[in-house]
Amino acid sequence: MQLRSANVTQGPERAPNRALFYAMGYTKEELDRPLIGVVSAHSEIVPGHIHLDKIAEAVKAGVRMAGGTPILIPSIGVCDGIAMGHIGMKYSLASRELIADSVETMTMAHQLDGLVLVPNCDKIVPGMVMAAVRLNIPAVVCSGGPMLAGRYDGQEVSLSKMFEAVGAYKAHLIDEEKLTECETGSCPGCGSCAGMYTANSMNCLCEAIGIALPGNGTIPAVENKRILLAKHAGMAIMHLVENNITARDIINEKSIRNALACDMALGCSSNSVLHLLAIANEAGAPMDLKTFNEMSEKVPNLCHLAPAGPTHIQDLNLAGGVPAVQAELAKGGLIDTSLLTVTGKTVGENIKNAKILDQNAIRPLDNPYSKTGGIQILWGNLAPDGCVVKRSAVAPEMLCHSGPARVFDSEETAIDAIYNGRIKDGDVVVIRYEGPKGGPGMREMLNPTSALAGMGLDKTVALITDGRFSGASRGASIGHVCPEAASGGNIGLVEEGDIIAIDIPNASIHLQVSDEELARRRAAYVAPEPNIKTGWLARYARNVSGADHGAVMQ
């Protein structure tokens, strides 16, 4: 077995390198084994990461048991919930690129033989996976697991209910006492927030794509099985290293399509579109937005997890988890079961005994929530290069909607109008200059969507943005409009009162303004000054691609 780490541990020329390892307490025996980076996003500012020190220690134990030398490496990570609604959210999506670059840097600088990636929350998971396929070395993802659902008003709830409670409070539908009850009851402990939000979406999709062990996306953070999973992840990386099975052996065009099929069945966050595009790009298997609609036409939506429905990730776990979903899809020939995974076995071997244990959480193929998948891409003169909606979280009466545009050039001005009762039934709220370049950073619009839902307007008001939405958003929330306003997109030409027609079943979004009028507006258009002119975000804005290409750095 030829080890990359021999470049820093073997031969007389590497005596200075070994001296530095000895300075840290490594033994010769440890340096003669494969060096495995355990990249942990543990911190004391993210509830999904507060316990990752325990997960990382369990991974390290597994690596040692299987004959490797684990080396702990830190990673940054943003809590999207804490960053929500202010300038901090501009840094969330951008941090994905920093994470990928930093994992690449630490791996190449120290010549590690393999990686166990220990993320949990939104952009950390795809950032680490992007690095793994870019480096194309053996890698396993082991997340920290989902938070248990909280309790509020006698029901199981998760973070989306908390954001919606603010809207209900602003509309005088609940009082301050009820708001506090929700505040103290919705997030009961460590883990990624309990709905099918972006973090849990990506942790489930890591299973579906084969880069994580079964259970990675659904075993609750507080269960003993999460520690057992981490130990097995440490053992699994050693099998991959010994057999030279690399990230691109597992993540490729076919496995990405498997992940996309599971995305549609599970009803994942619309952010999964950005992240799958970015991962595919790094894997050398780029895909376009049309692929998402092709898959949506074939794969039914089998799960209505929060915020689309009342079930949470713990319910999905008890119902059989991602393997049960995969087994159901396999019955219809909707996934490729021959593909290799980090277990060392194929998808088919992993799921041979899997089945649905609770049809309230996972419906069978012959009784889906809808015959089409959870994500839909829309096109039209408002979004010539596409935009994205989480179809499974849209009320039936809002699948087709036409109404007057209420135009805002930032999230802050839109949320002020919503909170102060200036948005009415039938309106189409347009929030622009929040895209990858224009924001910069493509902020999530969870505050506006949750305010509308909390005020009872999610079934009468649509929201369109060149920014994006949290997985916790529900309603006719249409994001990723491309080209974005800051890149000259037509969303920058929309005027107050223009009629916008949305037809989700027919993948259409149209600004009912003539081409001649749009040309007149474009001739008179004056681009606003950039929102951020200095620092890392200014560099990001200069170099980031459009959302239709995954908002990757160029």
Active site includes 470? yes
Other beta carbons within 10 Å of 371: 12
d(CA 101, CA 91): 15
CA angle 439, 135, 7 (to 5 degrees): 135
Closest CA to 372 of 309, 308, 296, 263: 296
- Please measure the distance between the N-terminal and C-terminal CA atoms of the chain and give it in whole angstroms: 35
Structure tokens at 462: 């649509």
Structure tokens at 69: 């030398």
Read out DSSP for 372-436? S-SEEEEEETTEEEEEEEEGGGS-GGGSEEEEEEEEESSHHHHHHHHHTT---TT-EEEE-S-ST
The torsion of the CA quartet 240, 106, 108, 127, rounded to 10 degrees, works out to 70
Question: Residue 307 — left, alpha, or beta (φ > 0 → left; ψ -120 to 50 → alpha)?
Answer: alpha
d(CA 260, CA 258): 5
Crossing angle for the helix pair 92-110 and 535-543, to the nearest 10 degrees: 90
Catalytic residue (choose from 192, 370, 470, 473): 470
Q: Which residues are catalytic?
A: 470
